[in-house]
Amino acid sequence: MVTITIGEFTRVEGNGEADIIIENGEVKEVKLKIVEGPRFFELLTLGRYYYDVPDLEARICAICYLSHSVASVLGIERAFNVEVPREVMLLRELGLLGEFLESHALHLYLLVAPDVFGYPDAIKMASKHGELVKEGLSIKAFGNYIREVIGGREIHGINVKPGGFGRYPTIEELEKIEQNSEALLRFAKRAVNVFADLKFYGAKAEHFVATNSYLYGDKLIACDEEVFDYYEHIEEKTLPYSFAKQSKYKGDIFMVGALPRVMLKSEQLTPLAKKLFEDHREKLSQGYVSLNNLAQAIELVYALEKAKEIARELLDKGLSCENVPVEVQEGEGIGYVEAPRGVLIHHYKIDSKGNISYSNIITPTALNHAIMELSLYEEAKKNYGSLDEKTFVQRLEETVRAFDPCISCSVHLVKL
Amino acid sequence: MLKLGVFELTDCGGCALNILFLYEKLFDIIKFYEIKEFHMASSFKEHDHLDVAIITGTVSCQRDLELLKRVRNNSNYVIALGTCATHGDVQGSVEGSIREKLEKVYGSRANPMKALDSKPIVEYVAVDYALPGCPYDKDEVYQVLMDIAKGVEPPKKDYPVCIECKLNEYECVLIKRGIPCLGPITLGGCNAICVKSKVGCIGCRGPLPKEANPASEFEILKELGYDEEYIRKKFKTFARGELRW
């Protein structure tokens, strides 16, 4: 028996490794290992006053901190039966769109594009493809601008609160968001072309799971048309070789992320994004996980179109800037959000004093752990022996990268 | 050219990411530094002696500790970047021993992956510069790297968040609105950005060295009606038990 170890995946967020176990000249098993230490977020928030909790949960991950704050706020509001007005929800959506732009642009332009053009990183790629890198950086910077306006800071702002916001955006900020969304759209369209020709690799996803609305939801949906709460059909198990857990949907391996979103919710896409989706529908429905990159590029278009639409609606109606009063009561609530890399779940029980008595967080990278491992296995099986070791390892790294994995998220740890 | 490495232990990824958020200023940095390792950004890796090493995150497992020691031994100048590295941040404040925590979360005291209680890197090795913040302000790390490149020892900040809050002429949320704000006892450098959002400082840069007066902050919060347990938890969120009174 031989084991090939891929030490520390590069160009992903966090620290992960894989063991490829070879027996009699064949790939027998692949173990995807999350090697970052556990941070015990569920224990951290136990006993904490609800108001401070979204700020703490944001620290699970920097790339998608707003997804964590919004999921946390939604869970808390549902526990207290708080209904916020459309204005507040639209602003939260705007924040989540900013996060899509920031996160997808980082992943596509800085992390995946070097694979497409054959460079070790985007800085070295910039000498030949400087325009593309600059276009990516400008989308990313704009996404961060939205995160700063809505979230309070590029990383770990604390402006999103149960019942509303600390500070509401100004007219000028909304106008700037509207204008930039329009201006950047042509870059995003170009990205769809760049990532449309990616090779098929990784496993073929048989099951997709997403939230019922495009950016968040009160239920999950799956490709078999099931509408459900996570604990009804998603089961988790711990692994002896990894700090993250593995999940199955009704006993099967499934996928969350941009590809599942566009496949399950294409009717919610904005006009141009919908057209681009239709152009590539046949390809995307093949289900190979590498197509997640193309789906993300389509979502860049969606996020820009949608951000513009929301900014315009808010400008037309005017902002009332009023928070809803939050009355503390004993309760239980779940927040479902589509983080850039897929479904994110925050589940809380809160006691009569407003302190957290139970918390369970399930992140997209934990949900995708099983299909990432399967993808590595299939890709390794296909290529072992035919590629030299360096190219072989490279191909496996590209496969993991397609999931845009966020390893920090996956080891925040899930409570049993 | 100075040789630079960026190393992540256990954290949210934000401190490494914030370096990428420098955008065009990154190109200024690479005029002075050759990046030898930065796994979030590049597949390029060269194990080498480094002039400057940036380390983010807490030591939370055996792997972190081994990496930390290797980097310290191979580097002239080590920067502990972010509150995880300097004070332990939120994961450092989770109470209980590692085995108890593993049992609560995984249902077993077994520890096959060799997890450790999260601690800041400054507990294990000496560092040459500590820049806290969850995250730090990205211009700060730019300035520190530029100072080092010019052979200047980067200055250390020593004033509270309140100074920057006043300079921005924000309304005091603690006194005027009764919102718990840790600005008076927290190290500045963030430009009071959370008070700009009209919410109180949560202390993400760790306690103000030397001159902080947590006892007085404690009394103010108690007078505002917050219970002691609440205040105690708020004080220790980012800096474990460092704030004493």
pLDDT at A310: 98
Q: What is the pLDDT of residue B39?
A: 81
B120 shares a domain with B69? yes
Q: What is the ipTM of this complex?
A: 0.94
| Domain identity same for B212 and B119 | no
Query: Do residues A11 and A86 both lie within one domain?
Result: no
Q: How confident is the model at residue A176 (pLDDT cuts 50, 70, 90)?
A: very high
pLDDT in tens, A352-409: 999 999 999 999 988 998 999 999 999 999 988 888 888 888 888 888 888 887 765 5
Closest Cβ opposite residue A62 in set B12, B23, B197? B12
- Of B101, B127, B149, the one marking the end of a domain is B149
Tell if the CB–CB gap between B13 and A39 is shorter than 8 Å.
no
Look at residue A23 and give its three-state secondary structure: strand
CA distance A360 to A286: 33
What would the mean pLDDT of A116-138 be, rounded to a whole number? 89
Which pLDDT score, from 0 to 100, does residue A414 have? 37
Tens place of pLDDT per residue across chain B (245 aa): 999 999 999 999 999 999 988 988 988 999 999 999 998 777 777 777 999 999 999 999 999 999 999 999 999 999 999 999 999 999 999 888 889 888 887 777 878 778 899 999 999 999 999 999 999 999 999 999 999 999 999 999 999 999 999 999 999 999 999 999 999 999 999 999 999 999 999 999 999 987 788 999 999 999 999 999 999 999 999 988 777 65
Same domain, A133 and A279: yes
Least confident of A134-138, A234-238, B89-93: A234-238
CB contact under 8 A, B230 and A122: no
For residue A189, being part of any structural domain is answered with yes
CA angle B127, B130, B132 (to 5 degrees): 145
Instruction: Considering only residues A123 and A377, tell me which one the structure prediction assigns the higher pLDDT.
Output: A377
Q: Do B115 and A42 touch (CB under 8 A)?
A: no
Q: What is the mean pLDDT of chain A?
A: 91
> What is the span of the domain harbouring residue A8?
2-34
Same domain? For A26 and A73 the reply is no
| Residues B175 and B144 reside in one and the same domain | no
Give the list of residues 6+ apart from residue A182 with CB closer than 8 angstroms, or none.
A304, A308
Using the beta-carbon criterion (under 8 Å), do A36 and B10 form an inter-chain contact? yes
Q: Are residues A144 and A83 in the same domain?
A: yes
A177-190 per-position pLDDT tens digit: 999 999 999 999 99
Question: Are β-strands A26-34 and A16-23 bridged in parallel, bridged antiparallel, or unpaired?
Answer: antiparallel
Pair A184, A303: CB distance under 8 Å: no
Q: Is B63 on the interface with A (CB under 8 A)?
A: yes
Res A121 pLDDT > 80: yes
> For chain B, what percentages of helix, strand and coil (3-state, to nearest 5) are there?
40, 20, 40
B175 vs A: CB within 8 A: no
Domain membership of residue B54 (yes or no) is yes
- Average of per-residue pLDDT across A317-336: 97
Nearest CA-CA distance, residue A240 and chain B, Å: 6
- Say whether both A28 and A122 belong to one domain: no
> In angstroms, what CA-CA distances link A306 with A96, A149, A280?
11, 17, 20
Q: Which residues of A36-52 are buried (b: 16+ CB within 10 A; e: fewer)?
A: bbbbbbbbbbbebbbbb
Q: Residue B11 falls within a domain, yes or no? A: yes
Same domain, yes or no: A259 and A298: yes
**B127 is written with which tokens?**
């560092």
Q: Is B56 on the interface with A (CB under 8 A)?
A: no
**Testing the interface with B: which of A31, A41, A156 to mutate, by most B Cβ within 10 A?**
A156
Does residue A255 have a pLDDT over 90? yes
Judgement on whether residues A86 and A47 belong to the same structural domain of the protein? yes
A57: in domain: yes
A394: closest CA of chain B, how far (Å): 10
Question: Considering the domain boundaries, does residue B243 fall inside one?
Answer: no
My answer on whether A30 and A45 are in the same domain is: no
pLDDT of res. A13: 65
Same domain, B21 and B142: yes
A46–chain B nearest CA distance, Å: 10
Q: Examine residue B94 and state whether it is found in any structural domain, yes or no.
A: yes
Task: Show the domain range for B144.
Answer: 2-149
In a domain, B227, yes or no: yes
Question: Residue A233: pLDDT above 80?
Answer: yes
Is the CB of B13 less than 8 angstroms away from the CB of A13? yes
pLDDT digits (tens, 9 = 90+) for A393-415: 888 888 888 888 776 555 544 33
CA distance A34 to A408: 9
- B35 lies in the same domain as B130: yes
- Picking from B34, B58, B105 by the largest number of A CB atoms within 10 A of its own CB, the best residue to mutate is B105
Do B42 and A36 lie within an 8 Å CB cutoff? no
Subunit contact B43:A11, Cβ cutoff 8 A: yes
Say whether both B54 and B173 belong to one domain: no
Nearest to B39 among A10, A47, A48 (CB): A10
Q: Has residue B155 been placed in a domain? A: no
Q: Is A368 within a domain?
A: yes
Statement to judge: residues B27 and B104 lie in one domain:
yes
Q: Is the domain of B227 the same as that of B135?
A: no
Same domain membership, residue B97 and residue B16: yes
CATH of the domain at B38: 3.40.50.700
Q: Are residues B96 and B172 in the same domain?
A: no
Per-residue confidence at A416, pLDDT binned at 50, 70, 90? Answer: very low
Q: Where do we find the tokens 């589509």?
A: A338
Exposed/middle/buried for A161, CB within 10 Å: 0-12, 13-18, 19+?
Answer: buried
Q: Structurally, how many domains does chain A consist of? A: 2
Q: Are residues A28 and A135 in the same domain?
A: no
Q: Is the pLDDT of residue A47 over 80?
A: yes
How large is the average pLDDT for residues A69-75?
98
- Considering the domain architecture, whether residues A257 and A369 belong to the same structural domain is answered as yes
Asked whether residue A51 is domain-assigned, the answer is yes
| β-strand pairing of B75-81 with B115-119 | unpaired
A50 and A29 share one domain:
no
Distance CA A360, CA A71 (A): 12
Q: Is B95 exposed, middle or buried (0-12, 13-18, 19+ CB in 10 A)?
A: middle
Phi, psi of A398, rounded to the nearest 5 degrees: -60, -35
How many domains does the structure of chain B reveal? 2
Does residue A17 share a domain with residue A125? no
Among the candidates B101, B123, B149, a domain finishes at: B149
pLDDT band at A45 (very low <50, low <70, confident <90, very high): very high
Q: What is the mean pLDDT of residues A243-250?
A: 85
Task: Give residue A325's pLDDT.
Answer: 96
The two tokens of residue B58 are: 């807490």
The whole-number pLDDT of residue A412 equals: 46
Say whether both B85 and B177 belong to one domain.
no
For range A32-39, the mean pLDDT: 80
pLDDT of residue A245: 76
| pLDDT value, residue A413 | 40
